[in-house]
Structure 1
Amino acid sequence: MIRLLDVRPLRASAAFRRLWLGSSSALFGSQVGIVAAPFQIWQATGSALWVGAHGLVAGVAMVVFGLVGGTLADAVDRKRLVLVSSSLSAAAAGLLVLQAALGPGPPGVVLLLVGVQTAAIAIGMAARRTFVSRVLPRDLVTAGVALSHLGFQVALLGGPAVGGLVLASGGLAWAYALDAVCTLVSLYGVARLPASDPAAPAARAGLRALVDGCRFVVGRPVLGGAMTTDAAAVVLSMPVALFPLVNAERFGDDPRTLGLLYSAVGVGGMAAGLASGSVARAVRPGRVMIAAAAVWGLALAAFGVVGGFAATLACLAVAGAADTVSVIARGGLVQLATPGEYLGRVTALETVVGAGGPGIGNARAGLVAALVGPSLAAVSGGLACAVVVGVQAVLNPSLRRWRTTDPAV
């Protein structure tokens, strides 16, 4: 039986309630900023290259400083790290408000401030995600991950829409101000946490600690299998770059249908998030993650061959639902299977795969589509994902058998 969203963590822990509301607020504000900064750059330059530079700056900052943050999260007080990083993010948003109110400023200044803000967010991201397993009992951790992911989905769907409305009615300064206020709200939940001792000696922060974390993941089949499954899904079969081509090939290049293609994945993900109670209670999350990743790949392969508009949307919605199930199961597994002294670095690696993998996957999809067309690119990518996940299921029994009641690996 499918169970609806498991809200027990919100009832059981006041600390989790504050963290969830604060983190959801910060995510919502960042989505508003993601609309505002490219809009300002486009208005100032009219150049797609400049707009693309925004994505490049944010992506590089997220990956590089996300890994740095992972090593810091295992070496310093995680609460203090998140408070400092969130304060820096809010300060960068405040400077974006100032330049918009006075100018607006040149695009180079915007890119610099976006880079600083993204770096600050990334430095604290791994530490913030470890709080779920700290404030909740073990049997509620996966449910807490599900609620956190639902907050992300709400922000992803609602933040850009609200950002557009604020830009249209109030202008750039108000949009950046909303981002800053949302970030400041997020500080409240973290500030109420007790201080925590460093999970590892401070001397372990840095490149050597990061390499040690990578070796740890590779040497643990449960964690390595989770990362491999995620990488297979996002790198081999990410479909977003194919949407404009499929829309032109099948639906007359209508912008209305294109928008629905983008929305279908999110709608499926939201539906799965609202019905994630069964996933949150799963005793063997590795099995759930493997099955969901396989469904993701097969649904996207089907997306490549179906013809009708309704069937196309249905395939994308199923893929979005499967992706959400996989993310929740993997997130709970990583939090529960990783010992505290490695949790920051392992969480950072998981985050980087999730943040950087889709860009690589979309590049792969675009390249293959240029050679053989969008339909075959979707089919080949989806089937490749399903095959890799199937091989992982056969060759990695530890991932299949690991239970939430087992000790960290």
Structure 2
Amino acid sequence: MPGVQSGLRRVAVDTRPLRVPAYRRLLLGQGVSFIGFQLTSVAVSAQVYDITGSSLWVGLLGPANLIPLVVFGLWGGAVADAVDRRRLLLWGSLVAWTATLALLVHAWTDMRNVYLVLAIVAVQSTGFAITSPVRGAIIPRLVPAERVAAANTLNFLVSSVGTVLGPLLAGIVLAKHGYTMAYLIDVLLFGAGFYAAARLPRLRPLGEISRPGLRSVVDGLRYIAGQPIVMMSFVVDIIAMAFAMPRALYPQIAAERFGGSAIAFGWLSASLAIGAVVAGLLSGWVGRVRRQGMALTVVIALWGLTVAGAAFAQPLWLIVALLAVGGAIDLVSAVWRQTILQTYAPDEMRGRMQGVFMVVVAGGPRIGDLRAGATASAFGLVPAWAGGGLLCAVIVVATGLAVPAFRRYDAVAERLKR
């Protein structure tokens, strides 16, 4: 019926950015390679827990990722504003691929050296820190401004599909073939992302070019500090991830409640992304929300409450379902935050803004990993998990409502002004 079809079009994901061939190749290549990246992420967590038997060591994967993300994410964003973004994407991808090869060799030789694993993860994080802000800065150059929100939604949707398939594949591969096969699959899947980057057009910087370095990074941070809306888009995400991200506790809950089942661990690792995929497929309404600052405050509070509820659930299906709701909320939040940055900042600042965005998006969960692992070691699994979610909800509401510019931000009015 026409009414039903019209309603479905309003809520279904907007696929119009796929009409741009370069964006379509980039999206599909990223999607395939991201399955391997997530497979490796799950395998590394399981391997570290297998070597040490400690959630604290799993939590230490957080700072091993975070330090390179901060240093090279900020630097990579500054470089992305000064050089051909296609070339930088290729070089960063090679760094990440080399690290995955090193994980493969470590597992194949059965070294079981947790310090070496942490060092390799830091190198892999360096490659990710370079490539992630470049991809974000590229999108507004490939698609029209009015399609940026839809393109971001597709990006997060494809990444979420990878975050579902990667952990579920990891559960099967680790149960049947072990860590070596997991890393080998990642090495092979990586080729799709590299091919897509190689096929991009040349993307030289527009506007005023700042020489990459400390001064350029400081200029970007100064810009953020002077823009309350941009600043708050980072702050609310840090609150969400640092306090409520439970993933460092997945190996422990799989061991304590589900007998160490690799399949259960895979489902737990995929749960957030399952919800994000569903939300992405029904995301046609997301770009039409105008009061995005207030909306972000509300959805992040709901994220914290949902994560807290999952800590008390006992059946695996219920934990997965609650975390999936949290993942759906997180996707909506991520789209709004990314779109604010890409449309609010000028092109000559986009690389640096995406560098900071990547540091926050990827670094926040690493801080959350460390917090979760440390508090679980000190107070137990449920207090660490549920307490973080409840604190997230309280703090984000108090913070979001305290900044009038963020609370009143109107995305449509802002776009018309510019």
TM-score range, shorter chain: 0.7 to 0.9
Contact 1:300 1:316 in 2 (8 A): yes
Contact 1:92 1:117 in 2 (8 A): yes
2:409 counterpart residue number: 401
Instruction: Report matched runs for 1:171-210 at 5 Å.
Output: 175-199=182-206, 204-210=211-217
Note closer, same or farther for the CA distance 1:96–1:367 as it changes in structure 2 (3 Å cut): closer
Note closer, same or farther for the CA distance 1:309–1:398 as it changes in structure 2 (3 Å cut): same
- Cα deviation, residue 63, structure 1: 3.2
2:273 counterpart residue number: 266
2:332 counterpart residue number: 325
User: Structure 2 CA distance, aligned partners of 1:98 and 1:228?
Assistant: 39
23-32 or 386-395, which deviates more: 386-395
Note closer, same or farther for the CA distance 1:361–1:163 as it changes in structure 2 (3 Å cut): closer
Q: Structure 1: where are the runs of 5+ without partners?
A: none
1:135-180 per-residue CA deviation (whole Å, 9 max, x = no partner) reads 1111211111111111211222212443565567777665444333
Contact 1:81 1:124 in 2 (8 A): yes
Q: Structure 2: where are the runs of 5+ without partners?
A: 1-6
346-355 or 92-101, which deviates more: 92-101
Note closer, same or farther for the CA distance 1:54–1:373 as it changes in structure 2 (3 Å cut): closer
Normalising by structure 2, we get a TM-score of 0.80
1:371-407 per-residue CA deviation (whole Å, 9 max, x = no partner) reads 7665555554334323333234433333332314624
Aligned-residue sequence identity (percent) comes to 35
2:21 counterpart residue number: 14
Note closer, same or farther for the CA distance 1:340–1:261 as it changes in structure 2 (3 Å cut): same
261-270 or 63-72, which deviates more: 261-270
Q: Give the partner amino acid of 1:157.
A: V
Contact 1:8 1:140 in 2 (8 A): yes
User: Structure 2 CA distance, aligned partners of 1:149 and 1:56?
Assistant: 24
Which of the numbers 24, 29, 37 marks the counterpart of 1:30? 37
1:3 has 2:11 as partner: yes
2:228 counterpart residue number: 221
CA RMSD of aligned residues (A): 3.8
User: Structure 2 CA distance, aligned partners of 1:305 and 1:30?
Assistant: 30
Normalising by structure 1, we get a TM-score of 0.81
Which of the numbers 338, 349, 354 marks the counterpart of 1:347? 354
1:127 counterpart residue number: 134
Note closer, same or farther for the CA distance 1:362–1:85 as it changes in structure 2 (3 Å cut): closer
2:67 counterpart residue number: 60
1:159 has 2:157 as partner: no
Contact 1:63 1:355 in 2 (8 A): no
User: Structure 1 CA distance, aligned partners of 2:379 and 2:124?
Assistant: 40
- Cα deviation, residue 330, structure 1: 1.2
Contact 1:70 1:126 in 2 (8 A): yes
Note closer, same or farther for the CA distance 1:17–1:263 as it changes in structure 2 (3 Å cut): closer
1:263-283 per-residue CA deviation (whole Å, 9 max, x = no partner) reads 543332232222122113434
2:341 counterpart residue number: 334
Note closer, same or farther for the CA distance 1:254–1:327 as it changes in structure 2 (3 Å cut): same
2:240 counterpart residue number: 233
Q: Give the partner amino acid of 1:144.
A: A
1:104-162 per-residue CA deviation (whole Å, 9 max, x = no partner) reads 67847666554434322321220112122211111211111111111211222212443
Query: Alignment partner of 2:405: what SS?
Result: helix
